[in-house]
């Protein structure tokens, strides 16, 4: 499967804040990343949605000035920065004084270059790509293969899964290997597509 040819232009189109389709797509792609990050930062679902809105608005402003550079990780870092700041502002808002104090101490320790928020963002970003790759796997692999893989994800031993699916351990291993391989390729493509300049380099 080749990378979606529309992807590189997605971010280019986002630059036009009037382009609602582009926003919708952007929202669909990154929504779970931003929400996931917010939840892991301890925000309740409703608060996380608020933050997502804030992020989208500030992105739409920033994107007008946003010029792509052919450097890897620029967008991921930029988006992470915007989201982190939004979460920090949200957490500092309308809290009792002691909580605010705690938050500000933590903000000094962890933001904007803080290791923990940074690391959390990076991890959420990894999850986000796994999730998207897994979605594609579900759509493109046979149902049986997906179910085998899911059983393995649940922690079942290969021998056990082989019995359940009335096949050999070797066959189970093969399924796992194929999916892993495909997942690797998908994620590589997704990451490359995030940075439009990189796509051509990787061909």
Partner 1 sequence: MSPSDGDPRPPDRFGFDLPEEEWLARVRDSVGPVSSLGRIGEYEVLEEISRGGQGVVFRARQPRTGRIIALKRLLAGSFATARGRQRFEREMEITARLQHPGIVTLHGMEIIDGQPTLAMEWIDGVHVDRWASGEGGARRSSAEILRLTAAIARAVHHAHQRGVLHRDLKPANVLVDGEGRPHVLDFGVAKLLEEDEALTRTEEFMGSPAYAPPEQLRDGARAVDVRGDVYSLGVILYVLLAGRLPYDKELRVAERLAAIERRPPPAASSLAPGIDPEIDTILGKALAADPELRYPSVDAFAADLERHLDGRPILAHPPSTWYHVRKMVRRNRPLAALAGLAVALLIGFAAHAKLSALRLERERNRAVTVVEFLRRGVFGAMDPYRTGRRADLQQILDAASARLEARRPEEGDVRAELLEMLGLAKHRLGDLAGAREDLERADRALADDADPVRRARVSVALASVLTDQSEYAAAERRLHRAEETLRPRGAETAGLLVEVLTARAAIDLTLERLDDAARRVDEIDALVRRTDGEEAPFLLRTQLQRALLLSKRGLHAEAVAELEDLLPRCVRQLGDESAMVASVVRRLGLVLFRLGRLDESGARLEEALERRRRLFGDRHPDTAQVLVDLAATRVPVLREDGADAMLKAAIEVFQESGAGEQETVAEAYGLLAEQLTRRGEFDEAEALMRKALDLLRGRLGPEHPAVADVLTNLGGVHSMRGDHDDARRFFEEATTIRLHALGPVHLDVAHGLNGLALNAKFAGDFDAAERHYGEALEVLRAVDDPSWTILVVLNNLASLKEKRGDRAGARDVYQESLDLAREKEIGVDVVDCATAARGVARTSLELQDHARAEPIFRELVATPESNAGREWLLGYDLAGLGVSLSARGEYAEALNVLDRAVTEIESLGDRAPAYLLRETLTVRRMIDDHLTGKGAPAANEDPDAN
Residue 31 as a binder of partner 1 (CB under 8 A): the answer is no
Q: Which of 12, 130, 167, 169 binds partner 1 (CB under 8 A)?
A: 130
Q: How far is CA 62 from CA 34, 75, 78, 107, 196, in A?
A: 17, 12, 10, 23, 18
Query: How many whole angstroms separate alpha carbon 122 and alpha carbon 106?
Result: 19
Phi, psi at 42, each rounded to 5° = 95, 10
Identify the DSSP state of 167.
Answer: S
Question: Which residue, 13 or 31, is less far from partner 1 as judged by CB?
Answer: 31
Give the binding-site size for partner 1 (rule: CB under 8 A): 42
Query: How many whole angstroms separate alpha carbon 59 and alpha carbon 78?
Result: 10
Spacing of C-alpha 44 from chain mean position: 19
Q: By the 8 A CB rule, do 198 and 7 touch? A: no
Through-space distance between the first and last CA atoms of the chain, rounded to whole angstroms: 13
Question: Which residue, 39 or 147, is less far from partner 1 as judged by CB?
Answer: 39
Question: Which residue, 64 or 184, is less far from partner 1 as judged by CB?
Answer: 184
Question: Which residue, 23 or 189, is less far from partner 1 as judged by CB?
Answer: 189
Burial class (CB in 10 A: 0-12, 13-18, 19+), 7: middle
For residue 176, the minimal CB distance to partner 1 (Å) is 8
Of 18-26, 52-60, 77-85, 119-127: span binding partner 1 (CB under 8 A): 119-127
Q: Which of 131, 144, 163, 168 binds partner 1 (CB under 8 A)?
A: 131
Residue 112 as a binder of partner 1 (CB under 8 A): the answer is no
Query: How many whole angstroms separate alpha carbon 75 and alpha carbon 84?
Result: 14
Query: How many whole angstroms separate alpha carbon 62 and alpha carbon 178?
Result: 41
Residue 40 as a binder of partner 1 (CB under 8 A): the answer is yes
Residue 98 as a binder of partner 1 (CB under 8 A): the answer is no
Residue 35 as a binder of partner 1 (CB under 8 A): the answer is yes
Residue 36 as a binder of partner 1 (CB under 8 A): the answer is yes
Question: Which residue, 62 or 185, is less far from partner 1 as judged by CB?
Answer: 185
Give residues in contact with partner 1 (CB under 8 A): 35-36, 39-42, 102, 105-106, 108-109, 115-116, 119-120, 122-123, 126-131, 134, 152-155, 176, 178, 180-185, 187-189, 191-192, 202
């Amino acid at each position: 499967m080749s990378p979606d040819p529309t992807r590189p232009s997605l971010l280019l189109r986002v630059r036009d804040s009037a382009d609602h389709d582009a926003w919708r797509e952007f929202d669909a792609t990154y929504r779970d990343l931003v929400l996931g990050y917010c939840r892991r930062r301890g925000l309740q679902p409703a608060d996380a949605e608020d933050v997502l809105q804030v992020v989208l608005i500030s992105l739409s402003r920033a994107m007008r000035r946003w010029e792509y550079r052919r450097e890897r990780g620029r967008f991921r870092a930029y988006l992470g920065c915007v989201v982190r700041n939004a979460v920090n502002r949200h957490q500092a808002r309308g809290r009792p004084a002691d909580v605010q104090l705690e938050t500000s101490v933590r903000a000094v320790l962890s933001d904007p270059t803080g290791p923990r928020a940074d690391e959390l963002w990076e991890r959420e970003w990894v999850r986000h790509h796994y999730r998207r790759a897994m979605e594609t796997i579900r759509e493109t692999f046979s149902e049986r293969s997906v179910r085998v893989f899911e059983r393995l994800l649940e922690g079942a031993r290969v021998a056990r899964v082989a019995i359940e699916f009335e096949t050999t351990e070797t066959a189970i291993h093969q399924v796992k290997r194929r999916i892993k391989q495909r997942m690797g390729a998908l994620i590589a493509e997704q990451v490359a597509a995030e940075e439009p300049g990189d796509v051509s380099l990787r061909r």
